Amino acid sequence: MDERHLVNELMKAVAEEAREFAVRPHFPGLKKFEAFAYVAERFGYRYLGHAPGNAALNNPYFLFRRTPDARERATVLMGTDAAAPVGDALPGMRPGLGFTPIPAVRPEAELLLFADGRRREWPVQPARTE
């Protein structure tokens, strides 16, 4: 599944306000999947791990669940029309380069996944006042 197809699946879930959606990405590495999870979270869909009932561990489906503030997040990113295409401007990504994070968000886009698929939450650092 290429990057554009993943974005289309995400935008479909956003437009339909789907409670959850599952994708089977075929990325060459974890970094691209981390970037996709970052983009999905900006639109209000949090990565939960492998989809339940998925026996194909060598090619699993990954589950994302809608957060309570998903509508507000999508509205901020896309304006009032939730069905509007995003184009090449993915939040936090380098324009025209797909799932390639800009340096400022790269640390936030990095996910540490445990064997059970949980996401490690890093403590929020206070803003510097220098």
pLDDT at 11 over 60: yes
For residues 6-20, average pLDDT: 91
Could you tell me the pLDDT band of residue 43, with boundaries at 50, 70 and 90?
very high
pLDDT at residue number 108: 80
What is the rounded distance in angstroms from the CA atom of residue 41 to the CA atom of residue 52? Answer: 20
What is the rounded distance in angstroms from the CA atom of residue 54 to the CA atom of residue 13? Answer: 20
Q: What is the pTM of this model?
A: 0.75
Burial label, 128 (beta-carbon count in 10 A; 0-12, 13-18, 19+): exposed
**Residues 85-115 pLDDT 10s:** 555 578 888 888 888 888 888 888 875 444 3
Could you tell me the pLDDT band of residue 81, with boundaries at 50, 70 and 90?
low
For residues 39-52, average pLDDT: 86
What is the rounded distance in angstroms from the CA atom of residue 112 to the CA atom of residue 50? Answer: 14
CB crowding 56-83: b at 16 or more within 10 Å, else e: eeeebebbbebeeebeebbeebbeeebe
pLDDT at 120 over 90: no
Q: What is the mean pLDDT of the chain?
A: 75
